[in-house]
Structure 1
């Protein structure tokens, strides 16, 4: 039985539907050649520290392997609540490489709002800044039965000579 595509009721007449089954290429498949071609070129910069495509690829691979080792499967949701820092990109791309789904969680939300979003998305993992939620982990895990993994990033950990 084909699921009803209720959103089509609001489309203009004659607008063609895009069937997701037609798309066999994932985002990670699309960027893989870019990573190979520009492996030593900067992929991003953070406070003057450049991250090459090779570094981004390695860090996101480590994150993906960690998720898979923790039992995450295709379609599992990982909430990411980090400010603009390289670790956000590592976690985001690593989540996609593991076949999981990213749910971006604003770092400005309260604990109750974060819990609501993680529950609503049925998130099994959560990545956050240690200074933001480290003391709230017991409160979050008590409210979220599906949550199996919390990963924390430390501000400044990516920058040599700067303590977070």
Structure 2
């Protein structure tokens, strides 16, 4: 195949032409290996509250056990509907460890959009942030959902920050409309109850669907892309291979302002960088630029993922140029085209490249990306990642 991939001659030195898509038989196998390897390191941070790999391991196991105790079985669909909170990776990994199929859901969806997604996928359970529970109430009778877990923005932040954040969200900003849902269990109560149970054994295969990721809503009704263990393990391995010339295992501090429920941040941050022992710094609301910049003061950020509009907003904020970029290596832009003027200004201000890539939900998602050493071409989607075949065709397929 190598002779059919002429771009390989332009690969930066040290990047392999191919990866092993079966490096792990499943994402759960990857999780077990990663938790054991980096158990003492910090895995996630949110609003200054940190959680180690060992803590995420423990919490996600307890969550998986709780889900089984509620009668959910491998292959059942569960929706995750929340912004970037510590609860998200715990819930995601717990669901996968229970053998459930995760249906990521945009918290900003309207009740109509929620109804379509939940009925189309056949969702039986949901973990939802309380801010959006009122919308669930409106469409619950139209769905198969029987198990409802509700969480709050501050639930995992510890005392006293939990109380302060929830007071601000619920009372001062009034961001939680009143809702009435049956048999609701809070996220922390589920973790507590899960300690009493164990995860039931089940068989996993590389071709098992583990995530249904909805896409294409801008061109009509969104459609669920069925992603398997092998899809995600392969793309995670491709990302790691491409970044091998830049990533330092166990040392990266990755700013994660993009929502983890989106395929870009899900695979790059929550899987690939996680598997490298990185600390993922979660930002709850990327539109709140001061909250994004605040993390540069809290940590010596080494890399970040984002989209053009976010990078542009950061560059135009008065405090951005004063951030500490001493350890910053690069920013990875996807989701939309990165404008040349934004990339050039980013390089000028930070001293590091803004690297553009391309992908689709169906490709899990990264398909091509520019070199991370700054040698890429502005306005280009870069080179196909290892083990990827790509061709350009016209509207007639030529």
Pairwise same-fold verdict (TM > 0.5): yes
* SS class of match (1:71): coil
**Distance in 2, Cα, partners of 1:114 & 1:23:** 35
| Number of residue equivalences | 142
* SS class of match (2:156): coil
**Distance in 2, Cα, partners of 1:45 & 1:54:** 14
Residues 114-141 of structure 1: CA deviation (Å, up to 9, x unaligned): 12111110011111101221x3444332
Q: Which residue of 1 aligns with 2:27?
A: 27
Q: Which residue of 2 aligns with 1:7?
A: none
* SS class of match (1:128): strand
* SS class of match (1:84): coil
1:53 offset after TM fit, Å?
Answer: 0.6
Q: Which residue of 2 aligns with 1:60?
A: 60
Q: 1:1-164 counterparts in 2 under 5 A?
A: 25-133=25-133, 135-144=134-143, 146-160=144-158, 161-162=160-161, 163=163, 164=166
**Distance in 1, Cα, partners of 2:82 & 2:58:** 20
**Distance in 1, Cα, partners of 2:65 & 2:109:** 29
1:24 offset after TM fit, Å?
Answer: 7.8
Q: TM-score, normalised by structure 2?
A: 0.34
Residues 1:23 and 1:70: Cα distance change in structure 2 (over 3 Å) = farther
1:39 offset after TM fit, Å?
Answer: 1.0
**Distance in 2, Cα, partners of 1:156 & 1:30:** 29
**Distance in 1, Cα, partners of 2:53 & 2:34:** 8
Q: Could you tell me which runs of 5 or more consecutive residues in structure 2 were left unpaired when the two chains were aligned.
A: 1-21, 167-398
Largest Rg, 1 or 2: 2
**Distance in 2, Cα, partners of 1:74 & 1:24:** 19
RMSD: 1.9
Structure 1 residue ranges, 4+ long, deviating more than 3 angstroms after superposition: 135-138
Residues 139-160 of structure 1: CA deviation (Å, up to 9, x unaligned): 332111x211111111111113
**Distance in 2, Cα, partners of 1:143 & 1:151:** 18
The answer to whether the Cα contact below 8 Å between 2:111 and 2:136 also exists between their aligned partners in 1 is: no
Residues 57-106 of structure 1: CA deviation (Å, up to 9, x unaligned): 11111211111011111111101011001101111111100001101000
**Distance in 1, Cα, partners of 2:94 & 2:23:** 21
1:26 offset after TM fit, Å?
Answer: 1.3
Q: TM-score, normalised by structure 1?
A: 0.80
The answer to whether the Cα contact below 8 Å between 2:24 and 2:30 also exists between their aligned partners in 1 is: no
Residues 1:24 and 1:156: Cα distance change in structure 2 (over 3 Å) = closer
